[in-house]
Amino acid sequence: MKQTKTILVVEDEPRTRQGFTKTLEAWSAGRYRIESMDSGQAALAWLENHVAHLLITDIRMPGISGLELIEMQQRHKQFKPVAIIISGYAEFEYAQKAMQLGVVNYLLKPVDKHKLVQAVEQALLVEDDRHRIETMEKLVDPRLLETKETDTQYTPQVREALSFLDEHLHEPITMRQVADRLHLNPSYFSVLFKEQTDLTFSEYISRLRVLRAKELLLRTTLSVGEIAERVGYQSDKYFIKVFKSYEGMSPSKYRSQTKETEADT
């Protein structure tokens, strides 16, 4: 079950903090969890054990400022919330520093309720986009991406080989089988493939199988054994060994760890 997203308001002025919280609670109508803290220190302590998807913070507070709070979050936390800065000071250096830290909006006090809600809605859209991009990045193999980007430069034989691998990945394919299909000497095909893709035939097919396995792990409830079979491995143990060599963890751990991250976001 997808968890409710959390918006954290950090503001040392009680009336402003309460005003922001009430406005957001009324707008949210239970769709989001609204939390509020009266200092950067309190926010940091809360963030040690909780996740905020959107951070709304005053820029000037006693102790830890809003910018310092964002900077600390980005430096030490794996999950980084999007942020909106609230300030009573229209000073360029603050806005400039905020932009460098990836702050998505900068609002000046007194903040109009409608502008606050509008800024929050825009920030949550940015947060959604970042999450989608992060999920896609987990499913991308940079080396394979390079081969796709330069495939127009390949000879017809190599392009045909790559197409054949895409379509027959679930089968126990050998390099000799592909070379025979292309009417090429296996040794010559091996050199040609490596020269053009910058990957050996064995590494290419292993990376492609791991990529497909990652997609199936995240998008289906198939068992590891069923996934191994679907990506062309006859042995579960060998599949797990290859997967670990590329991802640094077992397929089961990859699935549980990635889904836990998605649940938190």
Which two structure tokens, joined as six digits, stand for 70? 């964002």
Q: Using one digit for the tens of pLDDT, what is the confidence trace for 185-243?
A: 999 999 999 999 999 999 999 999 999 999 999 889 999 999 999 999 999 999 999 99
Q: Domains (ranges, CATH) in the chain?
A: 6-134 (3.40.50.2300), 142-264 (1.10.10.60)
Mean pLDDT by 10 residues, the chain (265 residues): 81 95 96 95 92 92 91 76 86 74 87 94 89 73 82 88 93 94 96 94 96 91 95 94 94 84 55
Instruction: Quote the pLDDT of residue 192.
Output: 95
User: Beta strand 54-58 with 6-10: parallel, antiparallel or unpaired?
Assistant: parallel
Structure tokens at 91: 């000073």
Q: Which amino acid does the sequence have at 44?
A: L
pLDDT of residue 1: 42
Determine which helix (DSSP H) or strand (DSSP E) holds 108, and give its type and residue range: strand 105-108
pLDDT score, position 181: 94
pTM: 0.62
